[in-house]
Amino acid sequence: MRAIQFTPDADRLARARIVEIERPVPGPGQLLVRTALTGVSVGLVRMLRADASANPGGEMVGTVVAVGSGLEESWIGARVGGVVFASLYAEYVCATPAMVTEIPAGVPAADALAVVRGGLVAMGVVHAAKSVAGSAVLITAAASGAGHLALRLARAAGATRVVAAVGSAGKFDFVRECGADAAVTYDRPWSETFDIVLDGVGGDLVQRGVDSLGPHGTLVAFSAGGGAVDTSTLLGELKTVTGFSMGLLSRTEPQLIERYRAQLWKLLEENMLRPHVEVRDWAELDAVVDLIATRRTVGRMAISAGPAPW
Ligand SMILES: NC(=O)c1ccc[n+]([C@@H]2O[C@H](COP(=O)([O-])OP(=O)(O)OC[C@H]3O[C@@H](n4cnc5c(N)ncnc54)[C@H](OP(=O)(O)O)[C@@H]3O)[C@@H](O)[C@H]2O)c1
């Protein structure tokens, strides 16, 4: 089968090469999935920055073609989507049923790819904020794969005002189309006060988010980008900072993830959630990684080993 390997490169983050390798054999309790679409995200960029020959995981959608021991043959032929932890960029991947879900008939593969990780993150983050209904909400990285879905989900959860914060004004039209009432960039002061900040960027923006909260406000940090908070800025107005991790939730509360997935499928079927997914050919992976690393993408980026339909 074909797979993509990353190798260090002097001129860029890493170089993606298409190689021929043995097709994996599903181990006990594993599904072998022929991939249709594979997600590309800032998570991959971070992995390559840490190790330019990384063997990354991430989200994919595809069709089950074989099962390992202990799994029902009835899985074969199922259209599934979810997350694998390594060896993602290949024509065939091994996945565990706990980390994938069957895609309802009628949900296009690209929409499914957008929600099986980014949609779950967006929904989890909105729920982590607890009291979105009736609140003014600021979302950073609002044009990202997870962020653009969080805009809609915050609105659907009853937010009275949703403001999108993005890296550049060129993303304003996109976030407004995704349901934002207003858009701001990181390099200008934020004049409004919010009840909730959902931070998908980290670094300095965490403290800026806290400073933008009104009394009793909550910031949910969901980025792997780190960041520090001066706790003295929390006390006077009883502000809260909390975190969100899809990984932990998948392991500790799988029934909650199931519920979120069911809600996401329903929203897609009712046309209430309209993910934006841009699909490129495998051969363009280097270019896609560059676009993400330089923060020039909107929505979810994906690559496909073959032409549409997937
Ligand atoms: N907690 C969880 O379980 C979980 C799971 C998955 C992802 N996440 C987080 O959610 C955020 C969005 O992830 P995604 O997969 O949806 O992103 P994505 O689709 O790859 O979006 C890329 C966009 O994210 C923004 N961004 C934020 N931090 C960045 C950085 N360090 N380098 C480059 N771009 C950055 C940029 O937009 P702007 O320039 O407009 O900010 C960029 O254009 C990330 O911070 C990621 O760590 C959290």
Q: Which atom in ligand 1 lies closest to the alpha carbon of residue 249?
A: 3
What percent of the chain is predicted at pLDDT more than 90?
A: 95
Measured from CB, residues less than 6 Å from any atom of ligand 1 are: 41-43, 45, 118, 121, 141, 143-147, 166-167, 171, 200-201, 222-225, 244-247, 292, 295, 297, 300
> Can you read off the two tokens belonging to residue 188?
């200008």
Query: What are 182-238's pLDDT values in tens digits?
Result: 999 999 999 999 999 999 999 999 999 999 999 999 999 999 999 999 999 999 999
d(CA 234, CA 224): 22
What letter does residue 117 receive in the DSSP assignment?
Answer: I
- Residue with the smallest CA separation from ligand 1 atom 27 is 201
> Can you read off the two tokens belonging to residue 263?
């809600």
Q: Which atom in ligand 1 lies closest to the alpha carbon of residue 300?
A: 19
The rounded Å distance from CA 293 to ligand 1 centre is 10
One-letter identity of residue 10 = A
Q: Which atom in ligand 1 lies closest to the alpha carbon of residue 140?
A: 41
Q: Is 275 helix (H, G, I), strand (E, B) or coil?
A: coil
The rounded Å distance from CA 42 to ligand 1 centre is 5
CA dihedral 180, 186, 192, 196 (to 10 degrees): 70
The rounded Å distance from CA 145 to ligand 1 centre is 7
Query: What are 75-124's pLDDT values in tens digits?
Result: 999 999 999 999 999 999 999 999 999 999 999 999 999 999 999 999 99
Q: Which residue has the tokens 């800025």?
A: 233
Say what the pTM is.
0.97
Beta strands in 78-122 (DSSP E): 79-84, 92-95, 100-102
- Residue with the smallest CA separation from ligand 1 atom 28 is 201
Query: What are 122-142's pLDDT values in tens digits?
Result: 999 999 998 899 999 999 999
Query: What are 282-310's pLDDT values in tens digits?
Result: 999 999 999 999 999 999 999 998 888 78
d(CA 210, CA 197): 8
Q: Which atom in ligand 1 lies closest to the alpha carbon of residue 44?
A: 20
**Structural contact between residues 30 and 86, judged by C-beta atoms closer than 8 angstroms:** no
The rounded Å distance from CA 141 to ligand 1 centre is 6
d(CA 243, CA 42): 19
**Structural contact between residues 80 and 113, judged by C-beta atoms closer than 8 angstroms:** no
Mutate to test the pocket of ligand 1, among 41, 42, 190, 288 (most ligand atoms within 8 A of CB): 42
Indicate the angle between helix axes 42-50 and 285-293, nearest 10 degrees: 90
Burial class (CB in 10 A: 0-12, 13-18, 19+), 155: buried
> Can you read off the two tokens belonging to residue 195?
């009840």
